[in-house]
Structure 1
Amino acid sequence: MAEQPMSRNLHESSSISPPLTRQTMRFLTAAMIGLSLLVLSGLTLTETMIGLIIATPLMVLFSPVLVPAVITIGVLTAGFLFSADKVDYAKMKISEKAKELGHYAQSQTHQTTSN
């Protein structure tokens, strides 16, 4: 008895169960992606909760230091932001005075050369 070709064995074994249709493959792919996203979101939620559980006692312990530090940083930031307006205003005033002085010097030079 001669050996049957390999392709015939594969064909016979696939004829036992019906082949998957394209629509079935799409559904299985979508289901696997959905399941993966569900597991990933569950892991993310779990990690967040564990992080909060660990961080809460640390925040309570260090709050006497952290609260004044945050207030100080906020006040310093606000001071820099408000002082920036004053610096811009001073720059504008200085540039205006410099232009006026330049025009004055130019007019004086023309008067001197005219005489």
Structure 2
Amino acid sequence: MTDRSQEIQVHHIHHPKHGIESFKSRIPEKGPSTSQVIAVITLFPIGGILLTIAGIILTITVISLALATPLFVIFSPVLVPATIVIGLALMGFLASGAFGLTAVSSLSWIFNYLRGSVTGATADMPEQLEYAKRHMREAASHVGQKTKDVGQAIQNKAQEGGRTHESGRTR
């Protein structure tokens, strides 16, 4: 306890010169390359132009929505069913495209497999499928055996219950 009360605390005072030197040590001595300077010079104006265009488009969209909202309310009995029909048709086209793409890629994989040009992890697919089938057969057999055992146990308990119930009546 006495050691703590007698401790002298030393505070380091940072001089501005020391702070600037440590900051300068973090800056690389070599400046940016010519290609980096050219990239910055070309990308800043392009980014600014694109940001300006995005702002203009956002402003036009908000103004258009404000002007078109009364029309949406007036024509809503027509627009709502039309939107639903167009949305369903679009979903149908997208689903059709997705299923078609899946079918084409599956057929392509099968064709390449039959040609023998499939290599790597996909070449082991038949072995993996066979392993999965065998594992499922074993699991089904195990579940069937457990079901049979539980059924037998229930039947035995029911027979024991019937015997004790009958023996209770005869006394």
**Per the shorter chain, which TM-score range?**
0.3 to 0.5
Q: Indicate the structure whose relative CO is greater, using CA pairs within 8 Å and at least 6 residues apart.
A: 2
Normalising to structure 2: TM-score of the pair?
A: 0.33
